Amino acid sequence: MKKIRVGLVGLGFSGSLHADAYAAIKDKADLVAVCDIDKEKAKMMAGCYGAKAYTDFNKMLEKEKLDAVDLCIPHHLHSKFVIAAAKAGKHVIVEKPIATTVEEAKKMIEATRKANVRFMVAEDQVHLPAHKLAKELLDKRAIGKIFMARVLSAVYDMPEDDKGWKLDPKNKGVLLDMAVHYFMILQWLIGPIEKVSAMAESVVVDKGKSDFDDNAIAIVKFKNGAIGDVSVTTVVAREPCNRLEFYGTEGTIIVDHSCEKPLMYHSVHRGMETDGWVRPEVEHETYPGYFPLAFRNEVKYFIDCILENREPEFGGKMGIESVKVVEAAYKAVKTGKTQNVK
């Protein structure tokens, strides 16, 4: 079987996890090149994974015979790098969010479509086994008609200093960096979001001249009539938390990633009745330990899409729909009014 030759760009936290993921699927992919503006980091990572080191993305594209490019770079650079990779004829996976604006995302989708390459957004949340099981249960209507969803994501991940890329005004704040995870997964699980209202503030971080918000709450209405809320914070002084709740007319699903068995559900749906709460076995590590599992799953999925010549489910369309919600949410923050997601 042909192996997919991959070049990885951006060697921070996400990039390191992506590199480990390729090492775990060596039968399908070879990580042949790594690139970062930090020369020493690039050399170190290249040595660890048997790859060639680059500090210039364009030189890597020019010199290496790559099949695919994996981009783990700051949000505001996504559009430029994806379009360059597509023009070079490379399949592309880019870390979430797809872009900082809907207009940028449209250009990326058009470039990858025109080049006829596979394009995927690396959204780790949809590749978690617990979330896949939640989707199976929802698709089977195990909890009947869903009418409410709730999300809480609370971490301590403050920008280190005023030169950090997250404080670049183009990257906004936690609505784009964190809530976008859940706008994608909620639309994957429940369906399109049509309205959003939101509040976002910089409560702890000295944001300087940026538009950074370190806390945000979004209230959404789905096209099917369900409502939901997404609460995110990046300055919590506690163990990190990632919890999702789904309420339906015939039951409840809760996914708490702090638990060894993260998913539990209760159902009175005919043929799926439970005797109290049921906690199925799923592959899992407590948050944030699940990252290697989720990243390995997403990278393997991307490589399989290339090998099998099929479009990724989590491609440009899902990516842009999530950013549409983010843009509407920021408009709601500014105006104080509920916004339609167009």
DSSP code, position 156: B
| Residue 162: closest CA among 216, 217, 202 | 202
Query: Is the confidence at residue 12, as pLDDT, over 60?
Result: yes
Contacts with 227 (C-beta within 8 Å, 6 or more apart), sequence order: 147, 148, 149, 219, 220, 221
Instruction: Give the predicted TM-score (pTM) of the model.
Output: 0.94
pLDDT band at 207 (very low <50, low <70, confident <90, very high): low
Q: For the chain, what are the domain ranges? A: 4-125+294-314, 126-287+322-340
- Residues 218 and 235: their CA atoms lie apart, in Å, by 17
- Residues 261 and 213: their CA atoms lie apart, in Å, by 32
CATH dotted code for 4-125+294-314: 3.40.50.720
What is the crossing angle of helices 291-307 and 13-24, to 10°? Answer: 60
- Residues 34 and 41: their CA atoms lie apart, in Å, by 10
For residue 151, report the phi and psi dihedrals to the nearest 5 degrees.
-135, 135
For residue 339, report the phi and psi dihedrals to the nearest 5 degrees.
-120, 145
- Whether 4-125+294-314 shares its CATH topology with 126-287+322-340 is answered no
What is the pLDDT averaged over residues 234-256?
94
The predicted structure's pLDDT at residue 170: 72
- Residues 329 and 323: their CA atoms lie apart, in Å, by 9
Q: Long-range contacts: 209-215, Cβ < 8 Å, 24+?
A: 209/169, 210/167, 210/168, 210/169, 210/171, 211/169, 211/172, 211/173, 212/159, 212/166, 212/167, 212/171, 212/172, 212/173, 213/172, 213/173, 213/174, 213/175, 213/333, 214/158, 214/173, 214/174, 215/174
pLDDT tens column, 312-326: 999 999 999 999 999
Give Cα separations from 119 to 27, 71, 303 (angstroms).
Answer: 21, 11, 11
The predicted structure's pLDDT at residue 120: 98
pLDDT tens column, 56-98: 999 999 999 999 999 999 999 999 999 999 999 999 999 999 9
CATH dotted code for 126-287+322-340: 3.30.360.10
Residue with tokens 């020019």: 62
